[in-house]
Amino acid sequence: MESANIETAVFGGGCFWCTEAVFKMLKGVSSVLPGYAGGTTKNPTYEEVSGGNTGHAECVKVEFNPKDISYRDLLTVYFGSHDPTTVNRQGNDTGTQYRSVIFYTTAEQKTIAKDFIHELNNSSQQGEPVVTEVLPLTEFFIAENYHKDYYERNKDAPYCEVVINPKLEKVVQKFGSLLSDKSKQNG
């Protein structure tokens, strides 16, 4: 249940291990949970979603205090930390489960997200257009426990070193003013 000060946002931007690690760095974010949204299978498993037949995307559910970080700031970090111009792909990860998608929880989020994408597409005529979907959140299924805090528990794993670490370094460089004090100390 949301309190008056906490809002929920749901983002899919490739592997949820990466996306979770990025959003956990931000001030005003109280919770980040990996999970699945956007598909038809009830209570999907990681194996089912990875198979690409459920319609679900790997996502993170972000609970945040808009007094500390705005939804627009979350969008800035989201778009700056993944490639929103590739359909059903992030790096070597391919399939609909890795698509760029925003699941809005309020009409205001829908408007802000669509306006933000419009601004991005109009900012550079040379760049590829943003293909990020903007859809209503109907259900969010929390991923299995072994996915939660994956980066924190597996920093020395090759995937974390090769894929997640460079992404986090980029976030620190580009969005330092949005980082939590703890992330600034660790960064």
Say which DSSP state 69 is in. Answer: S
Confirm whether 15 is a catalytic residue. yes
| Exposed/middle/buried for residue 94 (C-beta within 10 Å: 0-12, 13-18, 19+) | middle
C-beta atoms surrounding 104 within 10 Å: 20
Whether the Cβ atoms of residue 59 and residue 157 lie closer than 8 Å to each other = no
Element (H, E) at 121: helix 107-123
Nearest in space to 33 (alpha carbons), one of 24, 42, 43? 24
Measured in degrees and rounded to the nearest 5, phi and psi for residue 26 equal -90, 145
Q: Residues for the chain: how many in total?
A: 187
Residues taking part in catalysis: 15
